[in-house]
Amino acid sequence: MRLELGKIQIKDIQFSSESKIEGNILYVNKEELIKAIWDDENIVSVDIDIAKPGESVRITPVKDVIEPRVKVEGRGGIFPGILSKVDTVGEGKTIALKGMAVVTTGKIVGFQEGIIDMTGIGADYTPFSKLNNLVVIAEPADNVKQHDHEKAVRYIGFKAAKYLGELARNLEPEETVVYETRPLLEQIAEYPDLPKVGYVYMLQTQGLLHDTYVYGVDAKQIVPTILYPTELMDGAIVSGNCVSACDKNPTYVHLNNGIVEDLYEKHGKEINFLGVIITNENVYLMDKERSSNWTAKLSSYLGLDAVIISQEGFGNPDTDLIMNCKKIENENIKTVIVTDEYAGQDGASQSLADADAKADAVVTGGNANEVVVLPKLDKIIGHIDVVNVIAGGNQDSLREDGTIEVEIQAITGSTNETGFGYLSTKTY
């Protein structure tokens, strides 16, 4: 597949009487947008706000972060199986609005939701503080079940991203990047002397409200399969889960997976990037065995020399990560795992819940138990009281002076396991 990804930089967002993109500014008619995205009786109110880098603004609880995109040529549409028909995507031309995102918030759904600070030390931990954010505040009706609440907010976020993406349909991108992966035999023959590399992309499916969707199907229901990397860039995979904010992959990350982009950058130069194997993270041992057996089988079937494996979440999925790693290694395929750590607030505990000697090449996104004190900010979008109950917080997190003491687990994207973050190691 060959995808041309056009990019339009959004340097500011302003409310206006007309929704349009002009001079790198996104103008939004608030009333028109709300009408376009809100038709669900499970939601009693929708409002729109704007949060810009450097402003004294805190958004919480954050549910999803989505980059607006529009499919202008090729099969299917953006978010297939969700908002568009179930056509195979990943080829043709797509335009993305860079430098901005749609962020969804409102009353809490599950305790594993997060914080985005637009300034201060919290902003240093989340990559989403650097974006111009259009925030959708969707409040649920009384007595709405959690799954209905989550689905309603998820769809509102996708509709908002699609509405904004459509504004770019007839615009000329400032930059276009071409990504191409040929059919397997052609791809192998094109670079026969380069090592064949694949990417095992673990998707969060670990229990209730831990859902990731592939072409609209809950990934709990899949067995591992192969995707063209470009399918991710058209929204074939979207988030619907409430895993801890620090290492959750919001839809923005699925669209902009840094491991995929880095592998494409090395493709044809240092490696031959053959594709993506997606797999799920399971609760029961039998299901873990099945999925890890399949990732190893598919890696061998593709004739891979090396594999990068990233996980989403922590604890129980650590077992899936290590099982994938050692079974693929047993096929004489080299692996690198990408994870984060829960090593305790002092950093002295075992970082992962599982381990194996074969997992000897590891990239870490940081220790999610690290504690920070976030300053009081002037404006809250959402509900500030949730910081006492979200993962990484505690009953005393919100102090009387307005500051917040939390583990960075509570900060959206702080230890992301695709490398989409700012933490790095230092040698002393």
53 close to 130: Cβ distance less than 8 angstroms: yes
- Tokens 């706000």 sit on residue: 49
Strand partners, 211: 240
Q: Is there a cis peptide before residue 61, judged by omega within 30 degrees of 0?
A: yes
Of 165, 139, 135, the closest CA to residue 152 belongs to 139
Which tokens go with 294?
A: 């399949």
DSSP H stretches of helix in 112-217: 121-125, 146-166, 184-190
3-class DSSP assignment, residue 369: coil
Q: What is the 3-state secondary structure (H, E, C) of 313-347?
A: CCCHHHHHHHHHHHHHHCCCCEEEEEEEECCCCCC
CA distance 223 to 213: 13
368 close to 409: Cβ distance less than 8 angstroms: yes
3-class DSSP assignment, residue 293: helix
DSSP 222: P
**CA-CA distances (angstroms) from residue 41 to 30, 46, 60?**
20, 11, 23
Question: Residue 251 burial (CB < 10 Å; 0-12/13-18/19+)?
Answer: buried
Torsion of CA 361, 245, 422, 261, to 10 degrees: 60
Which tokens go with 271?
A: 């490696």
- 242 noted as active-site residue: yes
Candidate list 242, 274, 328, 343, residue with the active-site label? 242
CA distance 154 to 141: 15
Which is it for strands 362-367 and 334-341: parallel, antiparallel or unpaired? Answer: parallel
Report helix, strand and coil shares of the chain as percent, to nearest 5.
Answer: 25, 35, 40
Which tokens go with 399?
A: 């102090």
257 close to 275: Cβ distance less than 8 angstroms: no
Give catalytic residue positions: 242
